Amino acid sequence: MTNFIAIALVSIISAAGIGLDDPLKTLPSDDAARLRKHLPDVVLGPGKAMPIENAEDWMPLESTVYLYEKPRDESKTLKHVMTRLDRAPGGKKGDATKGWAMELPTGTTRYLKATKDRGIVAATDVSKPNSFIIRLDPPEPIVQVSNKSGAEVSERVQIRICDISSPDETSYSGTVKCTWKDLGAWKVQVPKGTYETRLIRIKYDGSIGPASVSAWKYVFLAKGIGAVAFTDSRDISAFIFYNNDTNQAGVLKSATQASGG
């Protein structure tokens, strides 16, 4: 009878697609299930990467073109482009401080800001395909400073979406609770290579205009590289424009620095 029960349990686990040597077995079951679905065969197991002490070490602010393959279909790719700006958003006219922006596959430009106390945040997005300016107050956490696994930052982000031609008029508005959490060190394998990473989960709950928002984003950050794998490339505002997240995952294929970055 004991052997029968053991065999039955193994069969149930195998049917669920979870092996006895499952590399994600120490993660909460919901997180592990989402990673298996969106980033299959990427995680090798727990890793050794230390917590994030300097955000820019984990998302280098350098002119770089990141090319990602879509899991299960290497013929399809997503491109992220980190671009240097002549002036940081919010800076005074003639200010010599340079800024940075990330061009996302959805056609959105994310304007990034590095702060000593928080890390890298995004206060403004511009969705070119939809001709919208998206303002986030307080800024959305992108890469936060954390000194331990489980570190968490939660913000209730007020969102204003304005037409580019009428930036003072609000087309949509809402509030989304954005919770950033460090889920620890993980070793991953992507087309570009094998990396020691920190796994970051960003959870969104709230509403924007007529749309309710309930979503999770997972990002594996490698020190000195940036994101080497992610489950969703959308920004907050894109949840109301692109409902389907199944085509938004990526695994790093190449990272090419531009001259003068």
The H-or-E segment that residue 36 falls in is: helix 29-38
In this prediction, residue 243 has a pLDDT band, given cuts at 50, 70 and 90, of: low
DSSP string for residues in 136-150: EEEEEEEEE--SSTT
Q: What is the pLDDT of residues 145-184, one digit of tens each?
A: 887 777 888 999 999 999 999 988 999 899 999 999 999 9
Where in the chain are the domains? 2-257
Res 18: pLDDT: 52
Q: What is the pLDDT of residue 10?
A: 46
The pTM (predicted TM-score) of the whole model is 0.87
* Span 77-96, average pLDDT: 83
What is the H or E stretch that residue 211 is in? strand 211-222
Mean pLDDT over all residues of the chain? 86
Q: What is the pLDDT of residues 188-207, one digit of tens each?
A: 999 999 999 999 999 999 99
Dump pLDDT digits (tens) for 109-126: 999 998 877 899 999 999
Contact predicate 81/62, CB 8 Å: no
Cis, bond preceding 129 (omega within 30 deg of 0): no
Half-sphere exposure of 210 (CA within 13 A, CB side): 3
Question: Binning pLDDT at 50, 70 and 90, where does residue 260 land?
Answer: low
